[in-house]
Structure 1
Amino acid sequence: MSRLIPPVMRATDLPLAVLSAARLDGVLWGVHDGYCSVDEPDRPELRALALSYAVQPHDIVVGRTAAWVYGAGSRVIGPIEVCSRARPLGSWRTGVRYREVAIDDDDLTRLSPPTPILTTRSRTISDIAVDSLRTIHDIDLVLALCDGTASTVRSHANDLAAARRRPGKAAGLEFLSVVIAAAERRGTPSE
């Protein structure tokens, strides 16, 4: 059975005034730059679909944007972060931060066929940890991705420590130790 309306609507589907009025009436809710029916629950597949208009087919959603897709945070922090496998000239877009990182195929996932490719939860944690442009939200993002448990963060820190040739590894390990301390202060079990 085909859908009558797409799960994420934009001004290309209905006029922006109609979408905004439906949101104010409680019929729609906002997800990134789109609108969804209140019958659609907030889930990673829907968040990834909300990004599909801004992400090209050869782009991979990474970093804080991938963390948002997995449910960390209520909105995308900063510009949409992507890593491109191949980018033809003239394809740079405003509002998108292009990252140049090497990603193995084992670190990639697609939540459903129409959604863009993104890094796995584990790789996303690692990318946030080694990012040189730290934000005040990063500790909360990593804690959300690790369900707030210090033992999960410690496991990801051990994986990063075992990684070979990872730029920013020392700073990333230092950052993850701060996240572990934050998890322990919040009273989550450490083991």
Structure 2
Amino acid sequence: MTTALPLLLDRDVLPLAELFSLVLDGQLYRVGDAFATTDIPDTPSLRAHAFAAHRPGSTVADRGTAAWIHGTRSAPPLRPQVCVDRRRRGRVPPDFDAHQHRLGADDVVELSGVRVTAPLRTAADLMLTLPRFGHHEALEVRHLLDLGRASPDRLGAHLARSRRHGATRALTRMPVVERTELPVPLSRR
């Protein structure tokens, strides 16, 4: 008799101590608040699936949560960061870092049935909201731009059109992004 495991394991399947023991044994790895077997590749779709297990209603993963789903961060933020589209208002539990914005068609992508801000929108959101901005943050923004096949000039134009709070500060951060280069992958050397 064969039993199929779910794609992700969590506390509903096994006690947390056993899940962490399996991580220490090299049989599982952590994906947000869930765990996956080592034969399942860590992909944006898998991370979106992990986020979907706890997301409220029609929220859209944004900022740090979107960056994690896209693969530019190794772990999600402690409080999942979400956006509620003004056209689809709903209640969000207090353990989520939520805000409301109008999202355009190009601002959102869907991964495993989960709505996530597109890489360019995620980069702009980070530029607008991060409390500090240095080389590490600029590298993350460049990675998001690379994923979205967008240039720093396109990001600058997007920010210049923005009427959101922090747009002027975000534009002053653009020189750091423009000076930052992504490392060349070993396969391209």
Shorter-chain TM-score range: 0.7 to 0.9
Paired positions, count: 177
Deviation of residue 5 (structure 1)?
1.6
Q: CA deviation at 1:19?
A: 1.3
Corresponding position of 1:13: 13
Q: Deviations over 1:112-165 (max 9, x none)?
A: 23xx211111111111111163466532321221349xx82233213322x253
Q: List gaps (5 residues or longer) in structure 2.
A: 185-189
1:92 paired residue number: 93
Instruction: Give distance in 1, aligned partners of 2:90 and 2:79.
Output: 18
Tell me what 2:137 maps to: 138
Mind listing any 5+ residue stretches in structure 1 that lack a counterpart?
A: none
Higher helix share: 2
Shift of 1:100: 2.5
Q: How large is the RMSD of aligned CA atoms in angstroms?
A: 2.6
- Give yes or no for contact 1:61–1:118 (8 Å, CA) kept in 2: yes
Q: Does 1:168 align with 2:175?
A: no
Q: Pairwise mapping of residues 1-191 of structure 1 onto structure 2 (< 5 A)? A: 4-84=4-84, 85-88=88-91, 91-94=92-95, 96-113=96-113, 116-131=114-129, 133-134=131-132, 137-147=136-146, 152-161=151-160, 163-183=161-181
Q: Structure 1 pair 135/14, CA: closer, same or farther in 2 (3 Å)?
A: farther
Bigger mean CA deviation after superposition, 62-71 or 102-111 = 102-111
Q: TM-score, normalised by structure 2?
A: 0.81
For 1:146, give the aligned amino acid. L
SS at match of 2:94: coil
Tell which deviates more after alignment, 128-137 or 26-35: 128-137
- Mapped to 2, the partners of 1:138 and 1:101 lie a distance apart of 23
Runs of 4+ in 1 over 4 A off after TM superposition: none
2:116 counterpart SS class: strand
Q: Distance in 2 between matches of 1:132 and 1:24?
A: 34
Higher RCO (C-alpha under 8 Å, 6+ residues apart): 1
Output the CA distance in 1 between the equivalents of 2:103 and 2:131: 19
Secondary structure, in 3 states, of the residue corresponding to 2:121?
Answer: helix
Per the normalisation by structure 1, the TM-score is 0.80
How much has 1:106 moved relative to structure 2?
2.9
Does the C-alpha gap of structure 1 residues 119 and 133 become closer, same or farther in structure 2, counting only changes over 3 Å? same
Do the aligned partners of residues 164 and 28 (structure 1) sit closer, same or farther apart at CA in structure 2, a change above 3 Å counting?
closer
Partner of 2:187: none
